[in-house]
Amino acid sequence: MDTSKVADSNRTTAATASKPNRVGAVATWADERLGLATLAKKNLRKVFPDHWSFMLGEIALWSFVVLLLTGVFLTLWFTPSMGEVQYNGSYEQLRGIHMSEAFASSLRISFDVRGGLLMRQMHHWAAMLFIAAMMIHLLRVFFTGAHRKPRELNWVIGCLLLLLGTLEGFTGYSLPDDLLSGTGIRAADGFIKATPVVGTYMSFLLFGGEFPGESIIPRLYVVHVLLIPGLLLALIAAHMLLLVYHKHTQWPGPGRTEKNVVGFPMLPVYAAKAGGFFFIVFGVTALLGGLLSINPVWKYGPYDPSKVTAGSQPDWYMGWPDGALRIMPGIETHIWGITISWNVMLPILVLPMLMFTILLLLPFLESWITGDKREHHLLQRPRNAPTRTALMVALMTMYGLFWAAGGNDIIAIKLHASINQITYFLRGAVFIGPVIAFIITRRWCISLQRKDNETVLHGYETGIIMRSPEGGYSERHLPLPESRAYALTARDRDPVVNGVEAGSDANGVPAPGQGRLAALRHRIRTMWYSDNVQKPTRDELDHGHHHAEHEHELQESMEGHAADGHQFDGHHLVDDESLRH
């Protein structure tokens, strides 16, 4: 500690404050009117733990800021109207063609507004990054158990953000009114119409009459620039307020408990880190927008319901329902003169809603199964919750396979495969793949748990091969550093479930809840924990250490001459060598 500033004399005159400098004066002026100091006092010292995976959500936040900035730029020139005009701008290939004002203004932004194409492309790339970052952030949260109490509601808010982000992306994709976006709106119209009974009414309501009409672009524009961004902003604010309220989670380690957060304060460290990260995300978006062409609307041309292009895909985040639609067998029911299009309804309306509901409920389902209602601020390594990790990997596998189905035509032409065979394969794979992924991931996690226990009990492998006087070989193990051993064992002991009867706890005491639901819960809970490896007990640890000491004693006679082995290859002088470990 620096003690040079401490007073070292007793004066006889009273100490007076020196005149404040200008910054201080401004700060005081503001504080006296806004009360900022009280807020800042606490929050400028807010602690963030250091780990790369805690910055994934920031990618989403910063790309949202890029979206706001570039989006405001685009609104200055975009005309959300379906009124027909003749194009006379600088893109020659479309000159003289009749098109909507929306498309004409998209071309104008691309070719006639200075920096317009860069802004359009940055806006589009930032949207892709925004949703991708939300997804990897969601995966990190789930894999580390950060969705457990007290953060379930923040998980729900995050899921809503993901849903709204997807809708926002879709409306933005639809606005330029080029061939691709028009095809997308046409598809959306079909999805709405596939809703039984009310489908056509909803479609007429949305389009203000028969597709395409003249109202859809202005309506989507309002949704895109006003409604959803407002909701997104409000939910992001709520998400971050809850983050501050809950405090950040952290990885277990020495000195880290459920009641503290070990890390660096907001000012000066994290303000610099996070602020710097904003510029990095901005830079990456600018790099993508400047170098890689995205949605070249001038090549698609204006939308016209009689036209379509091969490779008509939605942006990636809508790719998986599109994939489900592509591989769905064509099943329809005709009943009382009404056609129910299962082939559209199941993959596009039912499946995404079902998956979203499952996603929303995951934290609640988990705590119902495990019965764990405690607060958790220390994270779990994915391997220490094998069933949960495997569950998410299974969902990811399903998502990935549907995703692949969404690009089946591109896969077919790039890999010279038959699109039919790809479809048949994926129809099976979307069901079988997740099961295989679940089993493999679960066993993999359990193996990693065993390996952790092995390291804690018997030390880590040094790579030093010892030869005993009898001629036997063994690898030298050395005990883990204390802090590492602490981190590895700082996890909860899983409840014992094997051999426990339904309706009673681990000690055979009857537990409340005898119904069918309780029995089901018991069965799932048994499966949830069944093969988990517990961390070593104190006895096992003592035994392990004792064993290691014994081993050391046995090898003591060799301590003087033993070495890492390489010196004893006959080519080196070994007189001064000592054991290296």
Partner 1 sequence: MRLLNRSAGRLSRHRRGPLAGLLVIVAGLLLSGGLFTAVVNTTAQADETASSDELVAQGRDLFLVSCAFCHGQNGEGVSTQNGNQLGPSLVGVGEAAVDFQVGTGRMPMAQPGAQVPTKPETFDDEEIAALAAYVGSLGPGPAIPDESDYSLEGLSDEEREAAISRGGQIFLTNCTACHNFEGSGGAMPRGGYAPSLHETSAKHIYEALLTGPQNMPNFGNGNLSPDEKRDVIAYLYSLREMPDYGGFGLGGLGPVPEGMAAWLGGIGLCVGFAVWIAAHTTRSNKKKVDA
Q: How far is the CB of 403 from partner 1 (least distance, A)?
A: 9
Strand, coil or helix: 377: coil
Binding mask 352-391 for partner 1 (x = CB under 8 A): ----------------------------------------
- Whichever of 158 and 363 has its CB closer to partner 1, that residue is 158
The one among 288, 448, 490, 541 contacting partner 1 by CB under 8 A: 288
Nearer to partner 1, 276 or 463 (CB): 276
Minimum CB distance to partner 1, residue 357 (Å): 25
Tell me the Ramachandran region of residue 379: left when phi exceeds 0, alpha when psi lies from -120 to 50, beta otherwise.
beta
> Is the Cβ of residue 71 or residue 302 nearer to partner 1 in the bound state?
302
Contacting residue, 93, 507, 512, 553, with partner 1 by CB under 8 A: 93
129 with 106: CB under 8 angstroms? Answer: no
Q: Hey, is 334 helix, strand or coil?
A: strand
Q: Report the SS3 class of residue 121.
A: helix
**Binders of partner 1 in range 166-225 (CB under 8 A):** 179-180
Closest approach, Cβ 133 to partner 1, in A, equals 7
- Which parts of 307-336 interact with partner 1 (CB under 8 A)? 307-316, 319
> Which of 73, 221, 300, 438 contacts partner 1 by CB under 8 A?
300
Longest CA pairwise span in the chain (Å): 102
Among 25-33, 299-307, 328-336, 503-511, the segment contacting partner 1 (CB under 8 A):
299-307
Residue range at the interface with partner 1 (CB under 8 A); choices 55-63, 194-202, 220-228, 558-566: 55-63
From 291-299, 512-520, 524-532, 549-557, give the range in contact with partner 1 by CB under 8 A: 291-299
Distances (CA, A) of 55 to 34, 60, 62, 278: 31, 9, 11, 11
Q: Residues 126, 382, 493, CA angle at the centre, nearest 5°?
A: 145
Q: Which of 9, 21, 33, 52 binds partner 1 (CB under 8 A)?
A: 52
Out of 299, 427, 484, 547, which residue is the one contacting partner 1 (CB under 8 A)?
A: 299
Give burial (CB, 10 Å; 0-12/13-18/19+) of 198: exposed
In whole angstroms, the minimum distance from the beta carbon of 339 to partner 1 comes to 25
Please report how close the Cβ of residue 304 comes to partner 1 at its closest, in angstroms: 8
Nearer to partner 1, 321 or 536 (CB): 321
Structure tokens at 350: 């039912």
Choose the stretch contacting partner 1; rule: CB under 8 A; options: 77-85, 333-341, 400-408, 447-455: 400-408
Q: Residue 57 or residue 459: which is nearer to partner 1 going by CB?
A: 57
Which residues are bridge partners to 340 per DSSP? 333
Q: How far is the CB of 288 from partner 1 (least distance, A)?
A: 6
Restricting to residues 56-75, name those near partner 1 by CB under 8 A.
56, 58-59
Rounded least distance, CB 125 to partner 1, Å: 6
Task: Tell me whether residue 363 or residue 407 sits nearer to partner 1 (CB atom).
Answer: 407
Nearest approach in angstroms of CB 551 to partner 1 is 28
Distance between CA 115 and CA 562 in Å, rounded? 70
Q: Which amino acid, one-letter code, is at 499?
A: G
Of the pair 153, 411, the CB lying nearest partner 1 is at: 411
HSE at residue 379, side-chain half, CA atoms within 13 A, is 20
Query: What dihedral do alpha carbons 230, 182, 85, 98 form, nearest 10°?
Result: 160
Range 401-420, binding partner 1 (CB under 8 A)? 406-410, 412-413, 416-420
Residue 353, token pair as written in the block: 């809603």
Q: Which is nearer to partner 1, 273 or 547 (CB)?
A: 273
Among the listed ranges 32-40, 93-101, 556-564, 568-576, the one in contact with partner 1 (CB under 8 A) is 93-101
- Residue 301 CB, shortest distance to partner 1, in Å, is 5
Question: What does the DSSP assignment read for 345-361?
Answer: IIIIIIHHHHHHHHHHH
Phi-psi region of 216 (alpha: psi -120 to 50; beta: other; left: phi over 0): alpha
Q: Compute how many other C-beta atoms are within 10 angstroms of the C-beta atom of residue 443.
A: 13
Three-state SS at 459: coil
Distance from C-alpha of 75 to C-alpha of 61, rounded to nearest angstrom? 21
Binding part of the chain for partner 1, among 49-57, 160-168, 497-505, 554-562 by CB under 8 A, reads 49-57
Closest contact distance (angstroms) between CB of 310 and partner 1 is: 3
83: alpha, beta or left, given left = phi > 0 and alpha = psi -120 to 50? beta
Burial class (CB in 10 A: 0-12, 13-18, 19+), 185: buried
Q: Which of residues 225-264 bind partner 1 (CB under 8 A)?
A: 264
* Crossing angle between the packed helical segments 408-415 and 419-458, to the nearest 10 degrees: 90
Pairwise CA distance, residues 13 & 360, whole Å:
67
- Binding to partner 1 (CB under 8 A) within 96-155 occurs at 96-97, 110-111, 117, 121, 125, 128-129, 132-133, 136
The pair of three-digit structure tokens given for residue 44, joined into one six-digit string: 């400028």
438-497 binders of partner 1 (CB under 8 A): none
